[in-house]
């Protein structure tokens, strides 16, 4: 990459955090004022930056157009695929990527477990929000009115003795999930399967998907499952960043 192109890209990255003067950009990037001015004029001519009335420069309309086009072109499954497989390689268990589908979650991608005893699931299958780790990871990040709409009236369907069928019990669990950043399915949907899941955020900061690891009771105990939570959360963050999410 040529030095001019590299410096121009660095200028755009700096301006993404807020307007700046020529002098400020020169100090941050260790570039001479005349070089900064030359690059800024070229970027301004192409509408990548815009000079404000106070002399500072900011991101221009062409950058906004490019950013919007890039975000619209992102595919959740494609953005997540590599990260899901890396997680599967590290833990050896079933990994799912799930997304909201009406009032349920649907599995949009899957990495199979290396163990002979594994969870049965298939891409395209759906599951209830209130009884799955992926569903609860999403519900925990939704505003109350949207949560109300998705859950409907209680009691919620019971799948096992552990399913939370009342709103009070579910809300308590969701509060814990929001606080720690991940949700747990404690044999609530299937009697022999436990899961941990973390939400995936889009560029607007909305929780639109979730990453999970699912393991049978006889393969990993509860302590072993909880030990996977940091890695699941890190994978969900990596996918979120691929989708344009910026935590700061």
> What is the average pLDDT score of the chain?
88
Radius of gyration of the chain (CA): 23
Residues facing residue 207 across a β-bridge: 201
Model confidence at 205: pLDDT above 70:
yes
Average pLDDT over residues 153-159: 94
The most confident of the ranges 12-16, 41-45, 183-187, 217-221 is 183-187
Model confidence at 4: pLDDT above 90:
no
Q: What is the pLDDT of residue 181?
A: 96
Q: Give 122-148 pLDDT, tens digit per residue.
A: 787 889 999 999 999 999 999 999 999
Q: Give 95-107 pLDDT, tens digit per residue.
A: 999 998 888 888 8
Q: Give 166-198 pLDDT, tens digit per residue.
A: 999 999 999 999 999 999 999 999 999 999 999
Model confidence at 73: pLDDT above 50:
no
Fold agreement (3-72, 76-242): no
- Distance between CA atoms of residues 177 and 183, nearest Å: 5
Q: What is the pLDDT of residue 1?
A: 44
In the chain, domain spans: 3-72, 76-242
Cα 236 to chain centroid, rounded:
5
Angstrom CA distances, 224 to 76, 196, 214, stand at 29, 11, 12
- Distance between CA atoms of residues 94 and 125, nearest Å: 15
Model confidence at 68: pLDDT above 60:
no
Give me the CATH topology for the region 76-242. Beta-Lactamase (3.30.450)
The most confident of the ranges 68-82, 165-179, 207-221 is 165-179
Average pLDDT over residues 106-128: 81
In words, the CATH class of domain 3-72 is mainly alpha
Model confidence at 29: pLDDT above 90:
no
- Range with the poorest average pLDDT among 24-28, 78-82, 131-135, 193-197: 24-28
- Whether the Cβ atoms of residue 174 and residue 156 lie closer than 8 Å to each other: no
Residues 33, 17, 41: CA angle, nearest 5 degrees: 35
Q: What is the pLDDT of residue 98?
A: 93
């Amino acid at each position: 990459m040529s030095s001019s192109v590299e410096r121009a890209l660095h200028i755009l990255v700096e301006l993404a955090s807020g307007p700046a003067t020529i002098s400020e950009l020169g100090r941050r990037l260790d570039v001479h004022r005349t070089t900064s001015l030359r690059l800024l004029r070229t970027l301004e001519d192409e509408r990548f930056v815009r000079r404000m009335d106070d002399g500072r420069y900011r991101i221009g309309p062409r950058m906004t157009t490019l950013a919007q086009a890039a975000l619209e072109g992102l595919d959740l499954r494609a953005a997540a695929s590599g990260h899901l497989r890396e997680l599967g390689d590290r833990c050896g268990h079933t990994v799912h990527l799930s997304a909201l589908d009406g009032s349920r979650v649907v599995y949009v991608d899957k990495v199979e477990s290396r163990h002979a005893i594994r969870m049965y699931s298939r891409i395209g299958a759906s599951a209830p929000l209130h009884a799955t780790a992926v569903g609860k990871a999403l519900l925990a990040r939704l505003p109350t009115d949207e949560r109300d709409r998705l859950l409907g009236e209680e009691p919620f369907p019971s799948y096992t003795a552990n399913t939370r069928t009342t709103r009070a019990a579910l809300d308590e669990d969701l509060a814990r999930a929001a606080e720690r950043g991940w949700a747990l399915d404690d044999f609530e949907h299937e009697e022999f399967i436990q899961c941990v899941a973390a939400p995936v955020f889009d560029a607007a900061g909305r929780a639109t998907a979730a990453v999970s690891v699912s393991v049978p009771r006889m393969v990993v105990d509860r302590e072993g499952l909880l030990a996977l939570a940091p890695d699941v959360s890190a994978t969900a963050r990596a996918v979120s960043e691929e989708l344009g999410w910026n935590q700061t």
